[in-house]
Chains A and B, each alone.
Chain A
Amino acid sequence: MREISVSLLVETISELCLEANLVLNADLYRALEKAVEEEESPVGKECLSNLVANADAARQNQLALCQDTGMVVVFAELGQEVRIVGGDFEAAITEGVRHGYEQGFFRCSVVNDPFLRENTSDNTPPVIYTRIVPGDTLRLTVVPKGFGSENMGAVQMLTPAEGKEGVKRFIVNTVLKAGANPCPPLIIGVGVGGTMEYAGLLAKKALLRPVGDKHPRSDLAELEDELLTAVNNLGIGPQGLGGRITALAVHLEVYPTHIAGLPCAVNLSCHSLRHKTKVL
């Protein structure tokens, strides 16, 4: 059994929180630069080039990319040959978030209860998904998720008869309803299949793919392209002020499902899609 100490876990989560909020991933940075070239609306072009400038300013001045430093989602893939020693696994992840947010001077946006709504003042707890996988490593991904875009996501239990057309209609309507609120240009995560909550999880995981990478299955890659075109035809544009580029990418993930169902979830991310991964 390989041992990993909770103190290493705390330190790693803290670092990932800091990096995710301060440094825009290179794939997204490039996608924004490309969008500046492609956008036809002058207002949209200016928004996009300011977003590139914002990423530079954040890195140089150690300022959060966005003041909404999000609620933290952590994906942990724990190798079954790893033993966590020295304390509680989830408590260590929570402690890492607390430490990272304090170190980074990031905004604490989490409230203790959906009805009581008292700020916990340290941005905890995070939302943690753990999978046990073969091997002797621990893979940690930290996703600080802003709620301007999280609020505009949706899940729909479609019928098998509605098929691909139903999925398309639902996604395009979700983006249309969202309008300017989720800070376009968007990255659109779509999960189809599984059960209601699993479709939502797939949609969130779809956001983590490098921006613009296509699904390896050609029929699904084609569907992603069709969806991207349909969404960009809406004309919402950068910041919702009109333009060609409403989304930078649509990422779709699928999973087997029940004979009676076609669950479909859309998880929207703003242009400030933040996630960092480290393997221990």
Chain B
Amino acid sequence: MSVITKVCLPLDPQQAETLTAGTPVRLYGSLYTARDAAHKRLVQCLAKGEDLPLSLKNELLYYVGPCPARPGRVIGSAGPTTSGRVDSYTPRLLAEGLRGMMGKGDRAPEVVESMKKYKAVYFTALGGAGAILAAKIKRAEVFAYPDLGPEAIYRLEVEDFPAVVAIDAFGNNLYREGREKYIRR
């Protein structure tokens, strides 16, 4: 595997452009969580011309609905969910300045086109590894939409959080390239 790149959050737009598909990274800093229901609200909010509850400029959205924290702990298990379910909302959020996303699984062509247009990057974290990923989250607070329960928007602080660049700002795609190497026809 290639050398691991340190990425600070919120993202630096210049660094975001240099991250190429397949690069293993470690994330440091703050990010926001959002799943299906939160995406729906954010996009409805924009459609009505209202202000979002958070500024998305250069932020990273992590697609996760964590388990609740046991007493004395920061958070419960917190691995990524399937990204494809928010594909229909993503281009609108990228237009608002969203710079990064993290989840699992491939993205729709419209998302990749918007990523190229707005120079955004899509990371993947290990799906089903919520117990080891939880240890990389140092702070967690509900930031918006608390009524959504596990689907609320949380603000998380992460340290040494492992991920891989799955789709870069030029549309290179690790899912396609990775599979090409191992397919037997």
Contact = CB atoms under 8 A, between A and B. Distances in A.
Interface stretch (B76-84, B88-96, B115-123): B76-84
B127 A270 contact: yes
Contacts, number: 164
Interface residues of B, number: 46
A30 to B, nearest CB: 17
A249 interface: no
Interface in B53-79: 64-70, 76-79
Contacts of A179: 105-106, 175
Interface in B147-185: 148-151, 164, 166, 174-175, 177-185
B29 interface: no
Contact of B105 (A41, A65, A240, A272): A240
Interface in B108-139: 124, 126-132, 134-135
Contacts of B148: 119
Nearest to A181: B105
Contacts of B127: 66, 148, 180, 183, 239, 270
A242 B178 CA distance: 4
Contacts of B132: 50, 53-54, 57
B77 A180 contact: no
A69 B126 contact: no
A109 B178 contact: no
A181 B84 contact: yes
B39 interface: no
B164 A119 contact: no
Given A105-B67, A106-B67, A107-B76, A241 B174 contact: yes
Contacts of B129: 50-51, 53-54, 66
Contacts of A275: none
Interface in A185-228: none
Contact of A235 (B105, B124, B151, B181): B181
A67 B106 CA distance: 20
B1 interface: yes
A42 interface: yes
A43 interface: yes
A233 B184 contact: yes
B5 to A, nearest CB: 15
Contacts of A98: none
B37 interface: yes
A63 B150 CA distance: 16
Contact of A57 (B64, B76, B124, B135): B135
Given A181-B82, A233-B184, A241 B178 contact: yes
A67 B178 contact: no
Given A151-B82, A179-B105, A242 B64 contact: no
A103 B130 CA distance: 18
A247 interface: no
A44 B148 CA distance: 35
B182 A243 contact: yes
B99 interface: no
Contacts of A258: none
Contacts of A243: 178, 182
Interface of B: 1, 37, 64-70, 76-79, 81-82, 84, 104-106, 124, 126-132, 134-135, 148-151, 164, 166, 174-175, 177-185
**Shortest 7 CB-CB distances between A and B: which pairs?**
A242-B178, A235-B183, A235-B182, A58-B131, A183-B127, A67-B77, A233-B184
Given A54-B130, A69-B77, 6 more contacts: A57-B131, A66-B127, A67-B67, A105-B68, A235-B180, A242-B177
